[in-house]
Amino acid sequence: MQSQKFSNSTPIKQTNMQKTESFTEDFDTSMSWDSAGSGYASVDFTELPFEPDSTCSSLESSSIEIIESEIISSDDDEIMEESFADLMEELLQLCVDDTPWNHFSKMHHIGQGSSGTVFLSESPNGEKVAIKVINIKKLKNKQLLLNEICAMQNIIHPNLLPLKEAFFYEDAVDSELKVAIVTPYAELGNLIRFCKKTRHNEKLTALILRQVLKGLSELHRNSIAHRDIKSDNVFLKRDGTVFLSDLGFCDVTDEEGKCAGNSVIGTPYWMAPEVIKFGASSINSDIWSVGILALELFDGEPPLMSKLGSIEAAKLIAGYTGTVAPAGPMELPERFSPLFRHFLNNCFALNPMCRASCEQLLNHPFLTPCEDVTFSDILS
């Protein structure tokens, strides 16, 4: 098993997507790219929940399920042991071989992420940090852990949550092997809290999206798809800095911006149709999730969440047809300004190749007025 090293010097290569680099003023007719519990938990399906030719109406609720690991034969045991040894070797190269609690004091539990438990901690000099502790034994895809650490170590951007340190150790309490990822502490927490407490107008929505897209653009430039963009994974500091975080599901993309394999990874309400139906993750499926995040910021929750459970929502999303997603993602579109509506349309093109790129969205007139605006300017 080899971990993928990422570097700012290796930007994503040009794809076959044919998209213009600017937006016209005729927002409704310039769609030249279009072709004919809480529900917040991320999932990683090891098999597709739908057959590619299935229709939404023919599926039962039991069609979507997380498939448990297959039965492993004695021959497979040897392969698994060899792979696990490779993983240990990789982690020893990437991480400090020590427990984080020799370097930081644990204060209290502050969250449960898709791949680990998060603690608020403090360094000897009084700096507060967040430490995500991951139990290696419980990971279904251990390569994703290597991807996450490599990406955080090698891709640095003001809007990507930075890695302070990573530790690999055997827990003294339960004797389990664990990895601890140390990052700065974002005082205002993630956007879920922010969405519930603060009324979002389009200006505030645009301000947050601009920073999210800047961080995501840097991932895409380095041939990385995030694959789990949602409010849980966007954090705010008191100074207004927005961090895109949790690269636990990120993966390397090919020259066309596509991830290998056909795993259905992400969180149902934010997933693009092609991810749910075909397991086809890409940098373009990230753009769909950005559109859902935009609606979540504006409305306080993602589309469909208050009406459908995650399985029912996934069925509906997988059944979308046409060129741009119907009323589900953009219910009552007339309540949006023409600029915001046009921005969303370019996130929700059903053909993934027809969606805007991060750079194109950053140049969209819905976001450009926010270039020199701060949170205090909008909230004052």
pLDDT, one tens digit per residue, over 226-239 is 999 999 999 999 88
Exposure string for 28-52, b = 16+ CB within 10 A, e = fewer: eeebebbeeeebbebbbbeebbbee
Name the packing angle between helices 283-299 and 202-221 (round to 10°).
Answer: 160
Q: Which of 256, 277, 368, 344 is nearest to 34 (CA)?
A: 344
State whether residue 3 is helix, strand or coil. coil
Token pair recorded at residue 36:
């004919």
What does the alpha-carbon distance between residue 374 and residue 370 come to, in Å, rounded to a whole number?
8
> Which parts of the chain sit beneath pLDDT 70?
1-82, 113-115, 196-199, 325-328, 372-380
Alpha-carbon distance of 56 to 366, in angstroms, equals 34
132 is known to lie in a ligand binding site: yes
Identify the pLDDT of residue 67.
29
Domains along the chain with CATH numbers: 43-67+188-379 (1.10.510.10), 74-184 (3.30.200.20)
Task: Report which secondary-structure segment, H or E, holds 311.
Answer: helix 310-318
228 catalytic residue (yes or no): yes
Q: What pLDDT does 290 receive?
A: 98
Alpha-carbon distance values, 261 to 80, 271, 280 (Å): 20, 17, 8
Would you tell me the crossing angle of helices 338-345 and 202-221 to the nearest 10 degrees?
A: 30
List residues bridging with 224 in a β-sheet: 252
User: 97: closest CA among 20, 170, 37?
Assistant: 170
Identified catalytic residue from 228, 246, 251, 286? 228
